[in-house]
Every structure is written in C-alpha cells, then in structure tokens.
C-alpha cells in the first residue's frame, strides 16, 4: 500500500492549491496532505527519530525506500490513491534487484563473476578442429560465438544449462539502475508471472513460436496463452512450472535497466524439460514493458543454438 503512495506521488496525482481569475481552487490528491508532501519533498522518509531505517517494500519489488514516518493523514492518502489509474509509472532511480542465485551483490561485481570457475570444466572442439578448455563463463561465452561440439553429446544440455548463468551475467555487464519503470506492478507471484509475455513458455515448434509472438503482440499474458500452465512460487525469485508436455523452473535473476533505454527490465531464466523425455533447455530472457499502459515484451532471449529463435524456419 505504501508503494501506491510513492507511485501516485511520482505520477503527479492531484494538484496544489492555486488561484485562477481571483478564485482559489483547493489542493487535490496528495497535495491536500501538506505535512506528508513536505516530508516527501524533503526526502524526509524518517523524520521520526524513533523509527528504524528499513528497506521497503521487499527488495524483490525493485523499490528501496525508507519508511515514511507515521502520519495521521496516511491511511486516508492510501485509500485515496490505491488503484488510481495513473499510478502505473514511477520516476526517479529504481533500485536494482539481484537474485542471490547470481552470486553477485552489486552490478559492479558482475565483470569479476564472469571469471569464476563453472561447476564443471569442459573441453570442446571448435569447427577448425582446435580443442578449447572451458573453465569459466568468459571461456564459455567465447566459444558460443562460433560452432563447436562436445566429445560426449550427452553433455550438450548440461553445458548449456551451466552456461545460462553466464548469459545472465553477460546481460548484466552493462546494466545500470533504471530511471523509470512501467513494471512497478510486477511481483514474483502466480498472477504476476501469469501476466508476463507468453514467449517465456517452452515453445517446441516454429508454429508454437509464431503463436506466442502473436499472443505477445496482442498483449495476452502467459497464463492466458497456456491455460494448462501451473505456477508454484517457491521463494522471492524462484518458481516451479508445470504445463502440458513439459515442466520446469523460473528464476527472476535481476531487475535493472539492461538495454540502456532508462526503463526497468526483468532478467528471467526459464528452465524446461519434456515430460517423459530427455529434451531439456535453459534460456535467459530480457523482458520489459515499453509503455505504462501496455504489456510485457521479450526484448532479447538467449540459450542453446538448437532451440527455436524468432525468424527461424
């Protein structure tokens, strides 16, 4: 609820008292609550010395603000502003969220993390016949730029599953705190995930991909696109997925501006394996919402080259 106050404030809900043609127009919206507004304008989130500083709401929301001091007017403001149709965008730096699964505390640690050893070491054969050792994400990312093979084809999926983590770190290398967000609504919950782009689904044929792309364009969410999709959230940023023909896991790796346009993006990993089969894949998606009133879009996706790609026959 408190977040609605911040979002509504940022969205400029209401107007201050003004005099037009000699007539006084009363303040409206948040501007009616002068003490609260003055405290916000002063960035005085903790004017009450007895209130402890804390992050609010949870880091998973992508917001990090300190608690507003107790204020008599606050319950009324919350009632007034909750659900306001304009309250969808936020201005000002948006806190970066990084999953513990990434093993980095801040974006500045990402470059170093690419040098860490992978769970397994690999030897791959490049198309030129040259053998190359893969010990770190940097090694992995270098060989994925060209064709290569593994001595044991059984390892193929495992290598790409370990490598998904590397693609995620690579995507974050140039990420920065977002200036604005149209994703303030997104929480890592069942309804939140179901509203994301249907392109996060495991798409097994070019027809499936075409359908998912059309559904995304029409602003249909994943849950609407795949009515068999079952989501079980297992924590702040991980969920189990079950659908017709496949099951898997979803991870929210990060919230930050990944493509540099100033808007907040989601960095999501989706693992999947075929029900009753051996096929499996792990993919990394950069998801954003370009407009305040629109829906989410996959900006970028990356994974094993044998998986479907948009435009592929």
Task: State the residues that interact with Ca ion by CB under 5 A.
Answer: 257, 259, 261, 263, 265
Look at residues 124, 155, 147, 148 and name the one whose alpha carbon lies nearest to residue 278. 155
Question: Whole-number minimum distance, CB 261 to Ca ion, in Å?
Answer: 4
- Cα–Cα distance between 287 and 293 in angstroms, integer? 16
Question: Whole-number minimum distance, CB 170 to Ca ion, in Å?
Answer: 16
Question: Whole-number minimum distance, CB 70 to Ca ion, in Å?
Answer: 36
Look at residues 100, 101, 97 and name the one whose alpha carbon lies nearest to residue 63. 97
Report the chain's C-alpha Rg in angstroms.
23
- Cα–Cα distance between 211 and 277 in angstroms, integer? 24
- Cα–Cα distance between 227 and 123 in angstroms, integer? 42
Q: Which is nearer to Ca ion, 264 or 271 (CB)?
A: 264
- Cα–Cα distance between 176 and 95 in angstroms, integer? 10
Q: Where in the chain does DSSP place strands (E)?
A: 18-20, 23-25, 90-94, 97-98, 117-126, 131-136, 148-149, 178-181, 230-233, 238-243, 246-256, 265-274, 280-288, 297-302
- Cα–Cα distance between 195 and 283 in angstroms, integer? 19
Reduce the DSSP state of residue 108 to 3 states and report it: helix
Q: Which is nearer to Ca ion, 256 or 307 (CB)?
A: 256
Q: Which two tokens mark 99?
A: 């999953």
């Amino acid at each position: 609820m408190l977040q609605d106050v911040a979002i509504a404030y940022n969205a400029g809900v209401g107007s201050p008292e003004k005099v037009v043609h000699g007539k006084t127009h009363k303040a409206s919206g948040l501007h009616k609550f002068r003490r609260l507004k003055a405290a916000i304008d002063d960035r005085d989130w903790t004017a009450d010395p007895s209130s402890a500083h804390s992050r609010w709401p949870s880091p998973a929301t992508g917001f990090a603000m300190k608690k507003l001091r107790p204020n008599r007017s606050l319950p009324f403001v919350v009632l007034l502003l909750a659900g306001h149709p304009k309250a969808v965008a936020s201005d000002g730096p948006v806190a970066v969220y990084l999953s513990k699964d990434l093993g980095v505390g801040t974006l500045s640690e990402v470059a170093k993390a690419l040098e860490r050893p992978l769970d397994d070491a690999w030897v791959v054969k490049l198309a030129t016949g040259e053998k190359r050792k893969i010990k770190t994400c940097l090694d992995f990312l270098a060989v994925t730029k060209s064709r290569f093979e593994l001595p044991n084809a059984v390892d193929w999926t495992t290598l790409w599953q370990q490598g998904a983590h590397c693609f995620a770190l690579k995507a974050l290398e140039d990420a920065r705190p977002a200036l604005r967000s149209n994703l303030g609504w997104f929480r890592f919950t069942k309804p939140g995930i179901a509203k994301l782009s249907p392109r996060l689904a495991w798409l097994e044929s070019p027809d499936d991909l075409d359908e998912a792309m059309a559904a995304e364009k029409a602003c249909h969410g994943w849950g609407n696109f795949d009515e068999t999709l079952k989501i079980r959230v297992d924590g702040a940023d991980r969920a189990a997925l079950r659908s017709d023909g496949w099951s898997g896991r979803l991870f929210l790796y990060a919230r930050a501006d990944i493509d540099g346009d100033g808007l907040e993006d989601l960095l999501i990993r989706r693992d999947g394996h075929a029900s009753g089969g051996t096929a499996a894949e792990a993919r990394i998606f950069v998801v954003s919402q370009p407009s305040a009133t629109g829906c989410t879009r996959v900006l970028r996706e990356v994974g094993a080259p044998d998986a479907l790609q948009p435009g592929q026959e």
